[in-house]
Chain A
């Protein structure tokens, strides 16, 4: 199979408006991945599927990943004049990496028996702009997996034929696979609470009114 650089070059030639990046992988045995901007994600995926040299007809694995906001601290050497003497001083530079959600597609070819090409799509942020193009129209195998990402991470896949919650129940609120998700302490309301469930549940009740003392 071609290297990721070659694929990237051909993709850039075929779709000139696509913004592409190669995401490095620090693990030597792992695969590097191709980061495509969300707007042209569908076109790029279609190219990968239909290209005669690649024929990535099999979308094996679709995963969501949550990357919350992170403060990245870097140590930089800065030249400063202290008391008239120029010195090299180490300074800690803090940058805030904005959070985003990511969908990762592992693409293989069943016909040519090669792969994987790892495709990544990123949302603009984690709160209100969590839309990505759905690749289910290209690979039917992504249908349930994209539903799962919607269910557990809250990525909205545009163009998905049937985007509903799949593992959690329909009126569930929240996205449990996000890093900052805090599970409520009573998931299940019990009509007859007892023992530790009762003591736990009592925290949520208003304090009982004191019984009036009658003479």
Chain B
């Protein structure tokens, strides 16, 4: 990987293909796809140059949802940023909360009680389940399977969101974690319901896979489309299921072993070809591993407090210093970089958004494919614009 050649300057000039006589065969067509195109998963735009139906140049354009999240975070207190992190990747507010809480705990030297660690794992894995399910629903919809798979996915997601709602009061903007624990404890009825949802989930996945995994159209549209080579994936800092589909075994739950992930028995699915089908398959297998983790966590969860007694909600002023914390979000490595100068709000607050960086290689994956494939490739990247634009 280190032998990767240095990147040459990009060729911005594109010309139409030439025929045997050296004459241009046609004209290039420049299409501005988005920001309101239904397949762009939000306000995202691609400036595409087409030669016939083939993509010869593609520039992603975003920033329509930009609100300078980092500047807001620098002007409010540490805790006040917690509900804002929900709005980054609004599908996975629980993992966003965890990433931020983990970073500040590292900065302030706070511990987390045993029960809270288990609750965090349960929440994070439930989030992963619903995110991957919905993503598959969305991107199958992009391929033309209108409605049905997505409705199946949303039916299951709703069960998980009900669990989130009953514990945190909100379906999507959970604002559940705190520095040194979680906001409220879960009760036995909740745990029983979570166990029921988890156990039923593998049946749903069987059903989902029965319809999709060997589906002829899905195979034709995804296999060997949007191939991402391993060396490029590493160099371009791709993380999450996209990286693992390219064949790199790098999961922060195994590498960093943050929280209590070292206690659970699970495997990391790794792809082979790095195409869209591998990304789909890695996500399905990852969901099955998540179910395993959930079953172990729900079985082993101990009783006890859910907040570190040393943690202060009011007047929270960590000592000066800087820290970088990261968690394995459903979309990839979600990192938070915080510099404290000893005042009640951070001097510098930075979010490393996984889907923003995963978009770097969108052009490389789409070049040479048809425009309709570009839509599916974008779907397989799994972006959420709240996080990309911040």
> Which A residues form the contact surface with B (CB < 8 A)?
25-31, 49-50, 55, 57-61, 63, 65, 104, 106, 110-111, 113, 116, 118, 136-145, 152, 161-162, 165-169, 176-177
Contact = CB atoms under 8 A, between A and B. Distances in A.
Contacts, number: 120
B76 interface: no
Nearest to A66: B348
Interface residues of B, number: 49
A34 to B, nearest CB: 14
B288 to A, nearest CB: 24
B361 A140 contact: yes
Interface string B43-80: 00000000000000000001100101011000000000
Most chain A CB neighbours (cut-off 10 Å) among B255, B321, B357: B357
A100 B47 CA distance: 35
A126 to B, nearest CB: 15
B245 interface: no
B360 interface: yes
Given A26-B321, A106-B324, 18 more contacts: A27-B318, A27-B319, A27-B320, A29-B109, A30-B323, A57-B234, A58-B250, A61-B335, A61-B350, A111-B234, A113-B255, A137-B7, A141-B235, A141-B360, A162-B12, A168-B66, A177-B68, A177-B70
A59 B107 CA distance: 22
A60 B70 contact: no
B90 to A, nearest CB: 18
Given A65-B348, A144-B357, A167 B6 contact: no
A168 B63 contact: yes
B13 to A, nearest CB: 13
B337 A161 contact: no
Contacts of B321: 25-28, 30
A140 to B, nearest CB: 4
Contact of A60 (B71, B335, B360): B335
B324 A141 contact: no
Nearest to B323: A30
Contacts of A49: 2
A29 B258 CA distance: 13
B1 A57 contact: yes
A162 B333 CA distance: 24
B116 interface: no
